[in-house]
Amino acid sequence: MQIKIFRQFTRQLKTEISKIKKGNIIKHNDRLYLVMAAQARSQGRGGAIHKLDLKDLNSSSKITERFNANANLETVELEQKRLNYLYTDEQIILVDEDYKEYQVPIDLLDAKVLPFLNSEMEFKVDFHEDKVVGLKIPDKTVAKVVSSGVVKNSTGESSKAQKMAELENGVKISVPEFVKDGDEIVIDLNEISYLSRK
């Protein structure tokens, strides 16, 4: 199990508002925000007004803030590590290569993804001052079909016919007609949908 640290230090920099872009992390009113969108609107001689759509990294709440053209914001570079999934209790427990455990708030992930977490998964975890403020899981995973039903909407083309299948984690999804019990299939974790057979 190998851990890679992408950014070893958390840095805070003053950045001109005109240079703030989607994807930046800023510190504003003592809270960390992910910039979801950045727009500038000209006000004639008064310069531009900059509008930022922000997502709070702790609460996931969203706000919109406006700034004058001469504003400077504190941008933050986060420490990022690759950690492996261990188990889920009231929180998600991840470990590094030394088996040091990290507790991650369960609400940082969409609930529909939780049944698919497994020990083979590697997370990209963002830290700020030793606190987890964000994480990203893989885009896909593999699951085994334990039970598959009958075709629910046949169009006469077997390649497009779909049926419901129950996976080993209890989740039911739509799969092509040719998928059978015992098959291992690739799941898109963004949509919780079938991608292919393994």
Tell me: the pLDDT tens digits for 129-146? 787 877 889 999 999 999
- Walk me through the domains of the chain, giving residue ranges and CATH numbers: 9-77 (2.30.30.30), 79-136 (2.40.50.140), 140-197 (2.40.50.140)
Distance CA 145, CA 87 (A): 22
Pairing of strands 62-68, 101-105: unpaired
Q: 163 forms bridges with which residues in the sheet?
A: 151, 175
Length of the chain equals 198
Structure confidence at residue 3 (pLDDT): 38
Which tens digits make up the pLDDT trace of 18-48?
999 988 899 999 899 989 899 998 876 667 8
Q: In 10 A of CB 132, how many CB atoms? A: 22
- For residue 154, how far is the Cα from the chain centroid? 35
Higher pLDDT, 4 or 90: 90
